[in-house]
Amino acid sequence: MWWLSFIPDAILQQAILILIFIGVSLYPVAFFATVVPGGKRYKPFIFALATVITILGFYFEGSYSTEMAWRTKVKEVEAKVEIAKKESEDANKKLAVKSKEKQKVRVQYYSTVKERIVEKKIQIDAKCELDPVVTKIHNNAATNPAKVSVIVEDANK
């Protein structure tokens, strides 16, 4: 029945209602067929045709109602998907901002460590011994840059 999707909904609904109307209106025709001369022998045929057409009409009406209900549900889900897309874009933007902030912290941390190594270079080269500050700087360089404030304070001590 996929080919029915090419027919506009209003026309399809009218066709189904006309089918039901024809099926129901054939019942009185079957009853009045006995009045017409020679119509008595067509009464069972007309009655059976009326029944088949009415049943088909109601079947198509039920199918049409179900299809419209599913289309409504699809529209609701599509609306929810659009809302989710917008929320996702907002969340991605926030995540990008946080990522940039963390990257700035890392860069600041690494530049701080490099500056401190340059400052202490003379002490390191003077005695050919490792000053305890050097080990702290080296250990700080290997730690998590997200803890910059704690590490920089510890290294300055």
Q: What is the pLDDT of residue 126?
A: 65
Q: pLDDT above 90 covers what percent of the chain? A: 42
pLDDT score recorded for residue 48:
95
Mean pLDDT for all residues in the chain = 83
Distance CA 29, CA 37 (A): 14
pLDDT at 79: 96
Residues 118 and 33: their CA atoms lie apart, in Å, by: 113
pLDDT at 17: 95
Confidence tier at 105 by pLDDT (50, 70, 90): confident
Looking at residue 151, its pLDDT comes to: 47
Is 50 exceeded by the pLDDT of residue 150? no
Tally of helices (H runs) and strands (E runs) in the chain: 5, 0
H or E element, residue 15? helix 9-32
**Considering the entire predicted model, what is its pTM?**
0.56
CA distance 106 to 136: 18
How far apart are alpha carbons 52 and 26 in whole angstroms? 11
Q: Quote the tokens at residue 29.
A: 């025709």
Residue 147 has pLDDT above 60, yes or no: no
**Exposure of 91 in the CB half-sphere (CA atoms within 13 A):** 6
